[in-house]
Amino acid sequence: AEVDGKVVGSTTLLIEQKFIHKGGKVGHIEDVVVSKEFEGRGIGIKLVTSLLEVAKAKNCYKTILDCKDELIPFYERIGFKQESNQMRYNH
């Protein structure tokens, strides 16, 4: 996202083709970031909803993300639902 030519936010969409679900695709949203001085202006929502549109256009049957507990209400406002636990192994 840019404001007056300055990058103020960004995010990433990864699309994974699954072996299950008839080779269906899953969108993974990662690294949603908005500059502190631009928080609260709807930029994060616009970034995420634009990626959801891309994922839908690419025929993803679902789009998922991981977030901190304090960000759950933000993603729920967009339409995400809390669904499962995440397990992680650090190398």
State pLDDT tens for residues 10-52: 999 999 999 988 889 999 999 999 999 999 999 999 999 999 9
Both ends of the chain: CA-CA distance in Å? Answer: 32
Domains of the chain: 2-78 (3.40.630.30)
* Phi and psi based region of residue 21 (left: phi greater than 0; alpha: psi -120 to 50; beta: remaining): left
- The reported pLDDT for the residue numbered 65 is 95
- The reported pLDDT for the residue numbered 84 is 81
Can you tell me the distance from the alpha carbon of 65 to that of 33, in angstroms, rounded to the nearest whole number? 13
- The reported pLDDT for the residue numbered 21 is 84
| Higher per-residue confidence, 52 vs 91 | 52
